[in-house]
Amino acid sequence: MKRALLLIFIVLISSCSSYRRAATDLKEDDLVIIRKYVGSYIDHRMTGPENYDGPHLIWIKTSMEDVYGIISAYGRRCDFTEGDRLYLRRVFYSPGIISGYWVYYIENDASVSYRATDLQHDREVYIKSWFE
């Protein structure tokens, strides 16, 4: 009886130790770029909704993209200050077991962040192409 308990205890210890080792291994998904520098903030323009249920949009101008509309985000106001370093960040959401989707944000080094539009309206280019 003691041998059976000892054997079960050893198997349990070895299975837990291999689990911990596997949890610390580097995964391929961790190597995906999730943040990209898009320039220093210069200015913005805003547009209201086209109809009563449409979104408010912010058109952002940066040092790397000096045309309004190449970078656009949802928001009623823009709290970036001139000279802020801006980044595009993507977050993977997986509401179910099988599939998921990326959500893109424009943010500075501090805590200001806005959700980027999926389609950059000026060039009609999807935001995901910035990370390809």
CA distance 13 to 58: 56
Domain around 55: 31-131
Structure confidence at residue 6 (pLDDT): 64
In a domain, 10, yes or no: no
Structure confidence at residue 100 (pLDDT): 87
In a domain, 84, yes or no: yes
Could you list the mean pLDDT of each consecutive 10-residue stretch along the chain, which spans 132 residues?
69 58 48 84 88 87 82 91 93 85 91 87 74 78
Structure confidence at residue 20 (pLDDT): 46
In a domain, 83, yes or no: yes
In a domain, 42, yes or no: yes
In a domain, 2, yes or no: no
In a domain, 74, yes or no: yes
DSSP per-residue letters across 7-61 = HHHHHHHHHHHHHHHHHHSPPGGGGS--EEEEEEEEEEEEE--SSTTPPPEEEEE
In a domain, 14, yes or no: no
The domain total for the chain is: 1
